[in-house]
C-alpha cells in the first residue's frame, strides 16, 4: 500500500486526539482548544508520550516507503512546513541522534531534526475544513487513531533511514536508486 496516493486523513479520531492531548501538561485545556478551534495547529511537548523525527520531505517519503515496504509500518506521521514529522517512542530521538553520529554507515543519511525531552513541535490541526487548501499548518498523513498508537524505536527508524539513503536491493538483485 502506498500511503502517498490516498487522500490524507482529515480528522484525528477522538482516541487519537486524547493521545495527542496527553502529551500536554494540561490535556483538558488542549482538548478544549481543539473543541473551540479544531482547524488550528497546536504546539505539544516531546519526551513524555512521543518524540518526533523531522525529515526533509522527499527523504521522509523514502523512509516511510521503507517502513511500510520492509516493515513494520509506522505510527502517526504528519507534514509541517515542508518536512515530514515521524512520531517515535519517547527517548528514540536522543538515541537516534547518537546512533547517526556514531555509526559510519549512517553518513549517507541527510541531517535529521530529532525532537525529544525538552523540545516541542507544532502538530497539524485535528480537523481541516473541506474547502480549506493545504497550508503551512500541515496535514496528517497517518493520523493518530487510537489511544496507544504503535511508535517505532530508534533502531527501526535508523535502518529505514539507511535503506532509504542508500537505496535498497529488490528481490533478484536489482538495485533501487532514488526510487527508480
In 3-state terms the chain splits into helix, strand, coil percentages (rounded to 5) of 35, 20, 45
Residue 125 forms part of a structural domain: yes
Residue 171 forms part of a structural domain: no
Residue 6 forms part of a structural domain: no
Cis geometry, peptide bond prior to residue 171 (ω within 30 degrees of 0): no
**DSSP state for residue 73 in the 8-state scheme:** -
What the block records as the C-alpha cell of 6 is 490516498
**Residue 172 has what pLDDT?**
39
Q: What is the pTM of this model?
A: 0.84
In the chain, which residues have pLDDT < 70? 1-10, 103, 105-106, 129-136, 168-180
**Residue 128 has what pLDDT?**
75
**Residue 156 has what pLDDT?**
94
In this predicted model, what pLDDT tens digit does every residue of 2-25 receive, in sequence order? Answer: 444 434 445 789 999 999 999 999
**Residue 56 has what pLDDT?**
95
**Residue 67 has what pLDDT?**
94
**Residue 136 has what pLDDT?**
61
Residue 68 forms part of a structural domain: yes
**Residue 106 has what pLDDT?**
67
The residues near 99 (Cβ < 8 Å, ≥ 6 apart) are 106, 154, 155, 158
Residue 175 forms part of a structural domain: no
Show the domain range for 21. Answer: 14-166
CA–CA gap between residue 69 and residue 123 (Å, rounded): 26
Total domains in the fold of the chain: 1
Burial label, 43 (beta-carbon count in 10 A; 0-12, 13-18, 19+): exposed
CA–CA gap between residue 144 and residue 101 (Å, rounded): 30
**Residue linked to cell 509500518:** 73
CA–CA gap between residue 71 and residue 79 (Å, rounded): 21
Residue 177 forms part of a structural domain: no
**Residue 113 has what pLDDT?**
95
Residue 109 forms part of a structural domain: yes
**Residue linked to cell 500511503:** 3
Amino acid at each position: 500500500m502506498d500511503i502517498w496516493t490516498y487522500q490524507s486523513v482529515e480528522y484525528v479520531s477522538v482516541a487519537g486526539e486524547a493521545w495527542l492531548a496527553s502529551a500536554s501538561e494540561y490535556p483538558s485545556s488542549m482538548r478544549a482548544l481543539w473543541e473551540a478551534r479544531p482547524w488550528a495547529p497546536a504546539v505539544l511537548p516531546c519526551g513524555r508520550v512521543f518524540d518526533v523525527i523531522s525529515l526533509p520531505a522527499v527523504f521522509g517519503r523514502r523512509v516511510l516507503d521503507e517502513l511500510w515496504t520492509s516493515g513494520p509500518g509506522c505510527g502517526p506521521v504528519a507534514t509541517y512546513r515542508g518536512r515530514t514529522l515521524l512520531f517515535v517512542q519517547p527517548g528514540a530521538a536522543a538515541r537516534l541522534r547518537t546512533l547517526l553520529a556514531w555509526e559510519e554507515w549512517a553518513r549517507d543519511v541527510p541531517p535529521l531534526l530529532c525532537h525529544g525531552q525538552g523540545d516541542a513541535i507544532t502538530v497539524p490541526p485535528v480537523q481541516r475544513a473541506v474547502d480549506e487548501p493545504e497550508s503551512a499548518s500541515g496535514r496528517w498523513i497517518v493520523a493518530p487513531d487510537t489511544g496507544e498508537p504503535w511508535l517505532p524505536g530508534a533502531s527501526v527508524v535508523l535502518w529505514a533511514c539507511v535503506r532509504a539513503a542508500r537505496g535498497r536491493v529488490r528481490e533478484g538483485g536489482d538495485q533501487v536508486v532514488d526510487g527508480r
